[in-house]
Amino acid sequence: MTTHQLSHSLISIDQLFMLNGKNEVPELDRINQRYLEGLLVSHWGKAPLQKESYYWNAERFGLQYSTLYKSLSEQDQRKILELLSHWNLSLSYYIETSGGLYSAKMLELSENKNERAFYSIFAHDELVHQQLFTPFMQGPVENNIDFHPLLRPLGQAILGQSKAVLIYIVQVLLEGFGLAHYQALKEDCRSETLKNTFGKILADEARHHGAGLVMRDQQILTSEDKQELTTLASQFIRALQDADWIRKAMTQVLGPLSSDQNHLIEKEINRPQVLEARRQKLAHLIKSSLPEEVYLNLERSRVFDHSAPKASV
């Protein structure tokens, strides 16, 4: 199935992420929960987890430079930071969910005992990571994956791509970018407990990424695979530019922003430079990890250009 065909399979994507799970079995859920609760105790101990209302300060998002943000009441500032924290944790939750879906698909595609063993461990890791994030949330995880534009194309890729394409795009490219993203969240985090949790998860994700590099070198790509890699990489780059959480959070707390306010926020929080740095990081990662032909195709399409869609996270 091609990426174009998959773009019409929206309901399949929602089913993939189990957004509207059916025929739940309560007893199976209790068995799962008992096991997972034991894992959480082994990670944190028996002391109650101290939740924060938000886990990243204004500096994480450049909001200390925003005239509008600084003019707000402490209560409204806190509400904005709470939303941004919740979305970061929800995105992390869904990234780990995607990792579990990927490992289930790769178990099906495994060609030997080593691969089957590796992806069984991979699946267990991703479930544990998902559970490690959940207790820090102040409310339910976002129930609409479109709150971040990365998740739908990621689900499409997992549903329909070949083994070789999946290894390149998920385990090499996105795991590589995810390592840098999680490391930044860890460094800026206000909670020592959550910071330590990110540290544990990063160690696992580095192992997944390293294995992906080994497996990448065993793959033989067809011309169709390379075209799919070009299409998917382009989608992911644009998705990481399209997320607009800062203005979304401000709008949710304050109501609609004027065009002047939108322009001033973009200027003051230095969005163009932040996005340029992100594009360059992605360009370097793609150049070093995907086939040269894919990188050159992306370069010719100007997807790394400053003219790509602007956004902020």
DSSP states along 212-234 = HHHHHTT----HHHHHHHHHHHH
Q: Would the pLDDT of 18 be above 70?
A: no
Three-class SS of residue 48?
A: coil
Q: Are 159 and 168 in contact (CB under 8 A)?
A: no
Q: Which CATH superfamily is domain 62-300 in?
A: Ribonucleotide Reductase, subunit A (1.10.620.20)
Q: Are 40 and 132 in contact (CB under 8 A)?
A: yes
The pLDDT score that the predictor gives to residue 310 is 43
Q: Are 126 and 96 in contact (CB under 8 A)?
A: yes
**Rounded mean pLDDT of 240-258?**
94
Q: Which amino acid is at 276?
A: E
Q: Would the pLDDT of 138 be above 90?
A: no
Q: Would the pLDDT of 129 be above 50?
A: yes
The pTM of the whole model exceeds 0.75: yes
Closest to 9 in 3D by CA, of 134, 118, 161:
161
- Which residues lie closer than 8 Å to 87 by C-beta, 6 or more apart? 142, 147, 148, 245, 249
Query: How far is residue 113's CA from residue 110's CA, in Å, rounded to a whole number?
Result: 8
Question: What is the residue extent of each domain of the chain?
Answer: 62-300
